[in-house]
């Protein structure tokens, strides 16, 4: 019996520090919450409790905080203070290992993280190439039968790998429309794809390199390859809106073939096939905008202008405007408007193409 009492006492003594090792938050109304401080932003504090799970508390309602765990406190000047936290006289006191007790005014606190949150944050700043990807895929399809027999398929994909100092972006899209009513013909066939790498060298400026590829059957374009490099400027960078301005140079290699042109010297005029390859240096000028419209809709817009430096007066331009409205966490409805303009298209082709698509959007993160 004595042996059993001694064993229970020993277990209780070892369990006592674990029971006491908890964070406490006392509210101004006298309520006291016990748990584990997870994170905060100077306005709110998230406390994990056994009974209620994560509880979000307004900082203005807090009277005192006392933690047994170390917290990472980031203040407005960018400095991070690490240690157990207590409050005294309206100030936050952090018991650091190297500098002793350091005080901070709650109004100056921008971020609060426990060790687990800080580790996850630091890992997100430098993710491996296999991790840290976000993006989405769009799909739209239509079919008509009766007086017309058309099929239309629109697919798009984009993915971005973002770390603290750089960003890798991939994209691809396909538009294919066919008319099978009499003689099967391709009404539209457009394929685009590319990648871009951005590297920040301060909070506003970055450099970029990119490769873009396009095929457009209606303009008799077999393949256009554009290799760009230049500088970018983060004109707006907030939680709701980002606006980047781009300026650089590019080398363009494009091949047109399988088209037709008129030979007027024959009677009657005849049509012959031709092939044209263009190689030239051009400027790359553009802007990229993203904006959160309300809680569920994202708006994206980009405009690129490519004036030919070797044949002045010739240029290309592209414009895209799109929206994605969330239906669920991973599913949304997308609408896209695009315009492609070429100042010197081959004979028989128009200088501009307008593309409007709508359909479902599936987002992902890894």
Compute the half-sphere exposure of residue 286: CA atoms within 13 Å on the CB side of its CA. Answer: 24
Task: Place 178 in a pLDDT band, splitting at 50, 70 and 90.
Answer: confident
- The lowest-confidence range among 50-54, 155-159, 336-340 is 50-54
**pLDDT at residue 15, as a whole number:** 43
Superfamily name and number for 135-365? monomeric porin ompg (2.40.160.40)
Alpha-carbon distance values, 225 to 5, 236, 319, 358 (Å): 81, 30, 18, 27
**pLDDT at residue 223, as a whole number:** 92
pLDDT of 108 > 80? The answer is: yes
- Reported as a single tens digit per residue, the pLDDT across 279-334 is 999 999 999 999 999 889 999 999 999 999 999 899 999 999 999 999 998 999 99
**pLDDT at residue 339, as a whole number:** 92
Place of tokens 């971005």: 160
- The lowest-confidence range among 61-65, 159-163, 177-181, 250-254 is 177-181
pLDDT of 366 > 70? The answer is: no
Query: Residue 299's beta-bridge partner residues?
Result: 291, 323
Question: Which residue from 93, 44, 29, 103 is spatially nearest to 67, judged by alpha carbons?
Answer: 93
**pLDDT at residue 160, as a whole number:** 93
Average pLDDT over residues 49-61: 87
**pLDDT at residue 304, as a whole number:** 97
Q: Supply 333's token pair.
A: 């409805």
Task: Place 5 in a pLDDT band, splitting at 50, 70 and 90.
Answer: very low
**pLDDT at residue 235, as a whole number:** 95
Going by their DSSP bridges, the two strands 62-66 and 23-27 should be labelled as antiparallel
Alpha-carbon distance values, 284 to 62, 85, 91, 310 (Å): 53, 52, 52, 14
Average pLDDT over residues 155-162: 91
Rg (alpha carbons) of the chain, rounded to whole number: 30
Give the chain's mean pLDDT. Answer: 84
Percent of the chain with pLDDT over 90: 41
Average pLDDT over residues 214-240: 91
**pLDDT at residue 173, as a whole number:** 92
**For the chain, what are the domain ranges?**
2-125, 135-365
pLDDT of 222 > 60? The answer is: yes
**pLDDT at residue 268, as a whole number:** 65
Q: Residue 188 in contact with residue 199, Cβ under 8 Å? A: no
Q: Which residues contact 273 (CB under 8 A, 6 or more apart)?
A: 257, 258, 259, 260
Q: Which residue has the higher pLDDT, 130 or 71?
A: 71
Question: Which residue from 104, 108, 105 is spatially nearest to 94, judged by alpha carbons?
Answer: 104
């Amino acid at each position: 019996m004595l042996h059993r009492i001694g064993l229970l006492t020993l277990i209780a003594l070892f369990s006592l520090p674990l029971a006491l090792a908890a964070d406490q938050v006392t509210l101004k109304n006298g309520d006291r919450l016990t748990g584990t401080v997870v994170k905060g932003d100077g306005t709110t504090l998230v406390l994990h409790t056994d009974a209620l799970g994560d509880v979000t508390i307004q900082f203005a309602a807090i009277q005192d905080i006392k933690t047994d765990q170390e917290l990472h406190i980031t203040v407005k000047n960018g400095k991070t203070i690490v240690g157990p936290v207590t409050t005294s006289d309206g100030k936050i006191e952090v018991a650091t290992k190297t500098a002793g007790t350091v005080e901070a005014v709650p109004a100056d606190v921008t971020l609060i993280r426990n060790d687990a949150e800080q580790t996850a944050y630091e890992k997100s700043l430098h993710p491996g190439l296999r991790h840290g990807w976000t993006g989405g895929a769009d799909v739209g399809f239509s079919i008509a039968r009766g007086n017309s027999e058309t099929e239309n398929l629109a697919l798009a994909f984009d993915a971005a790998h973002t770390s603290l100092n750089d960003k890798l972006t991939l994209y691809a899209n396909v538009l294919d429309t066919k008319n099978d009513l009499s003689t099967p013909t391709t009404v539209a066939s457009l394929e685009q794809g590319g990648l871009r790498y951005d590297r920040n060298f301060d909070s506003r400026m970055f450099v970029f390199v990119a490769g873009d590829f396009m095929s457009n059957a209606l303009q008799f374009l077999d393949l256009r390859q554009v290799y760009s490099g230049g500088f970018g400027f983060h004109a707006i960078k907030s939680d709701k809106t980002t606006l980047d301005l781009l300026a650089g140079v590019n080398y363009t290699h494009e091949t047109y073939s399988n088209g037709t042109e008129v030979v007027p010297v024959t009677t009657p005029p005849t049509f012959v096939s031709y092939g044209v390859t263009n190689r030239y240096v051009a400027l790359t000028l553009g802007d990229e905008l993203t904006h959160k419209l309300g809680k569920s809709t994202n708006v994206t817009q980009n405009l690129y202008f490519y004036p030919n430096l070797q044949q002045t007066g010739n240029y290309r331009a592209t414009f895209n405007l799109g929206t994605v409205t969330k239906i669920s966490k991973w599913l949304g409805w997308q609408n896209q408007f695009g315009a492609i303009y070429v100042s010197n298209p081959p004979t028989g082709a128009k200088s501009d193409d307008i593309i409007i698509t709508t359909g479902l959007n599936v987002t992902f993160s890894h």
